[in-house]
Amino acid sequence: MDAQVRDVKVGPGPLVPPVPKVHPRPLGGSPLDDLRIAWEMSRNLIGAWCEEDFDNLVTPYHFMGQPGLVVSDPAGVRQVLASPNFRRPLKLGRPLKPLAGEGLLLSEGETWKRQRKSLAPAFTPAAIGGLLPHFVAAGASLTEGLANQTKANLSEAFHHGTLDAVLRALFSRRADRDGAVLAQIARRYLEGPAHFRLLDFIGRGRDDLTFADGDRRRLGGRWLAEVDALIAQRRAAPAADDRPGDLLDRLLTARDEDGGPLPDQEIRDQCSSMLAAGFETTSRLLFWATYLLARDPETQDRVRAEILAFPVERVNGLDDLKAWPLLRSVLFETLRLYPTAPTFGRQALADETVLGHKVPAGAMVTISPWLIHRHRKLWDAPAVFRPERFLDQPHPWGIEAFLPFGGGPRVCIGAGFALAEAQIILATVLARLEIALADDRPVIPVASITLGPDREPDFLLTPIVQARA
């Protein structure tokens, strides 16, 4: 893939990680150009941006006969995300619908409102604190698996590790044992059918041109049947009291507005939504953070010193994670440079005006954290990896141009879950292993639903004791 490799760090000086080629000019507006854009986006969702997109705060466009607006201005973004006159476009849900069903990720209107309210207690800081033992166990198991290797594909390892973490947190299952079938289906789905295809861009609605979606329906059906079976088992034989609680426990005891239990189908769809939304995203975050730290060994050493001063074994609750401010800043800076949800959108339900531009009912608004986080008017040295920019920011959500987890009422419900999981897993790995890249070839981000690497590089692993001897 064509790349712009600007000054990748090999010695002192700023680290500027490589990015996909940026078009010098906008890609036209004819039907043929639209097809080219759709084709480029199906290969790499962030591959159709042009230079001026990184300077413009708002850009009107026409795509496939529909008007739209790219909004990067933080006030405009806030307006759109907060307004009830915009909804998440149904067609963006096409790849995930067969897996996520009618759960929170894809639900709308009053159903969404009710679901969000009944799920909120499962994602409070206290509830996430209760899930930490699952993250610690997943981190330990991942690190154990790496400990005897000198070279590893960490992208694959983090995929497995985060799937393990989310299966433990959801169902108290392990990805390689009692949850192996679930893990296998999830992996197959998220590596293939979950990715955008050309027809997803050409079709206007969620159910247009879905004749080629047989693989999505088949695997999604198998997944939902597995989760149904798991819920039935848990109902038949409730779990022992001495294990840490999981999200399934919380959903089984959750109550709707009338005080009744949630129907089984809803519990199943919520579990599936959490898995669809929460596994690959966190795995990508861990991959890119490790890639950056391998490119910047000095920062890696400083993060490790912080972790060795307060080892993972001392973590008893969420507040303990405050002992690792640099690690946290590295994760935020990673989410800035590599937002794992690189683009999302909204569709106008009624005529609206955004930043002085008319947005007719039905038109799309594109919001791209990839653009906003690298915007030349919104950030100082936007292309440079500089985790310190987040060190003095106890609440980076206050930074208007930083929205890795979205914003407004549909902001990611799993942000706290993902950050706690990523901190614990990365701390566990870095405490045991020094990490370097096996080669100097650039790794270019490629976006579909999440932002992954164009190739999975090998990393060299050196046990810490050996590195210090």
Quick check: 194 binds ligand HEM (CB under 6 A)?
no
Contact 370, 401 (CB under 8 A): no
Helix (H) or strand (E) holding 445: strand 445-447
Comparison of 42 and 282: residue with beta carbon closer to ligand HEM = 282
Count of Cβ atoms closer than 10 Å to residue 405 Cβ: 20
Q: Which amino acid, one-letter code, is at 140?
A: A
Q: How many residues bind ligand HEM (CB under 6 A)?
A: 23
Judged by CB under 6 A, which of 406, 442, 445, 457 binds ligand HEM? 406
CA dist 155 and 421 (Å) reads 16
Starting at the earlier edge strand, list the strands of the sheet with 458-463: 151-153, 458-463, 433-437
Comparison of 88 and 375: residue with beta carbon closer to ligand HEM = 88
Q: Which residue is nearest to ligand HEM (CB)?
A: 414
Those residues with Cβ within 8 angstroms of residue 73's Cβ, 6 or more apart along the chain or in another chain: 57, 58, 355
**DSSP code for 24:** S
Comparison of 31 and 125: residue with beta carbon closer to ligand HEM = 125
* CA 198 remoteness from chain centre: 22
Which stretch, 14-22, 253-261, 378-386, 413-421, contacts ligand HEM (CB under 6 A)? 413-421
Comparison of 281 and 300: residue with beta carbon closer to ligand HEM = 281
Quick check: 414 binds ligand HEM (CB under 6 A)?
yes
The least CB distance from residue 170 to ligand HEM, in Å, is: 8
Cα of first residue to Cα of last residue in the chain, in angstroms, is 41
Site string for ligand HEM, 73-112 (x = CB under 6 A): ---------------x---------------xx-------
Quick check: 273 binds ligand HEM (CB under 6 A)?
yes
CA dist 366 and 33 (Å) reads 18
3-state SS string for 335-389: HHHCCCCCCEEEEECCCEEECCEEECCCCEEEECHHHHHCCCCCCCCCCCECHHH
**DSSP code for 424:** H
Comparison of 274 and 363: residue with beta carbon closer to ligand HEM = 274
Judged by CB under 6 A, which of 41, 45, 277, 449 binds ligand HEM? 277
Q: Give just the sign of the alpha carbon dihedral 428, 429, 432, 434.
A: negative
Quick check: 401 binds ligand HEM (CB under 6 A)?
no
Site string for ligand HEM, 335-354 (x = CB under 6 A): -----xx--x----------
Comparison of 143 and 340: residue with beta carbon closer to ligand HEM = 340
CA dist 433 and 149 (Å) reads 10
Annotated binding site for heme: 412
Comparison of 413 and 461: residue with beta carbon closer to ligand HEM = 413
The least CB distance from residue 414 to ligand HEM, in Å, is: 2
Beta bridge mates, 19 = 4
Q: What 3-state DSSP class applies to 314?
A: helix
* CA distance to 90, 98, 362, 364, 419, per residue, from 87 (Å): 8, 20, 10, 10, 26
Which stretch, 228-236, 273-281, 358-366, 381-389, contacts ligand HEM (CB under 6 A)? 273-281
Site string for ligand HEM, 223-262 (x = CB under 6 A): ----------------------------------------
Residue 225 tokens read as 């049947």
Comparison of 38 and 425: residue with beta carbon closer to ligand HEM = 425
The least CB distance from residue 412 to ligand HEM, in Å, is: 3
Interface residues with ligand HEM (CB under 6 A) are 88, 104-105, 116, 273-274, 277-278, 281-282, 285, 340-341, 344, 404-406, 410, 412-414, 417-418
